[in-house]
Amino acid sequence: MSNFVSVEELVELRASGGPIRVIDVRWRLDRPDGHADYLAGHIPGAVFVPLHTELATHGEPSDGRHPLPTTATLQEAARRWGVHRGDTVVAYDDAKGLAAARAWWLLRQAGVKVRVLDGGLSAWGAAGLPLETDDVHPEPGDVELVEIGADAISIDEAAAFPAGGVLLDVRAADRYRGEHEPLDPVAGHIPGARNVPMAAHLDVDGKILDTHTLQATFAAVGVTDGTPVAAYCGSGITAAHTALVLDEVGIEAKVYPGSWSQWSNTPGRPVALGDQPG
């Protein structure tokens, strides 16, 4: 089964009365609290998920901007969303699936069946489907999660990863090259990392590209079936989307959740510049 669900398929699943819980993960760097946008219009029945408190935690700069939540925090959140044992969660956002992918990555590790709405809220609107403006608070669920973290790597593991696999930097090319750094104290990339920006996986409508195109993109940087691969970004959100896309084409990937925000705030870590891994 695909990790992605189309608007048409979601409509059918909801109409069938199956155990579906839709979550709205409205979050962007320039608008981290998406609750007001959610209240302005969301998919009927969708529960709002605050990424910065339920899909991440807070720490020191050297921990990165979006450290992983504890399994207990995530379980409490999932129950608040109304998720029960055996439910399928469908996550969406209005930012090309970036925030929804973070939910997918965490929930999948935790043993929850989870999919991402292809094209997000834009695809729902383009289909002429209705939105609602209520604040949905379902009866609490009873889902039990397994321990998360197995699909994550540490800062030291990220440093060593290029020696035995492919470490992907999925930020925009100018940030990878070190020409532009709007958020972190140091510009550049982790030595040995290869750049494949997240945008390479999506069409103009924010929907995932076909499998052949995706496989060719990854193969161009040495990622094929069986290649050890890990991804990082600015703060561990966008990298989860690359892990989602890689899984869709049958390639397992780790994520370095601390990402560049942790690396650049840790004294002594080397930095590479330019368009080569270094």
**Which of 254, 261, 258, 230 lies closest to 109 in space, CA to CA?**
254
Structural contact between residues 29 and 110, judged by C-beta atoms closer than 8 angstroms: no
**Tokens linked to 107:** 């929930």
Beta bridge partners of 173: none
Listing DSSP states for 149-198 in one string gives -TTB--HHHHHHGGGTSEEEE-S-HHHHHTS--SSSSS-SB-TT-EE--G
Which residue among 233, 239, 249, 253 is the active-site one?
Answer: 233
Q: Is 258 a catalytic residue?
A: no
Distance CA 145, CA 80 (A): 13
Distance CA 6, CA 127 (A): 11
Strand-by-strand arrangement of the 194-195 sheet: 194-195, 166-169, 229-232, 254-255
Distance CA 112, CA 115 (A): 10
Structural contact between residues 164 and 222, judged by C-beta atoms closer than 8 angstroms: no
**Which of 220, 64, 253, 76 lies closest to 151 in space, CA to CA?**
253
Distances (CA, A) of 153 to 1, 61, 107, 157: 26, 18, 17, 6
The distance from CA 19 to its chain's CA centroid, rounded to whole angstroms, is 23
The distance from CA 97 to its chain's CA centroid, rounded to whole angstroms, is 7
**Which of 180, 136, 110, 98 lies closest to 22 in space, CA to CA?**
136
Residues designated as active site: 233
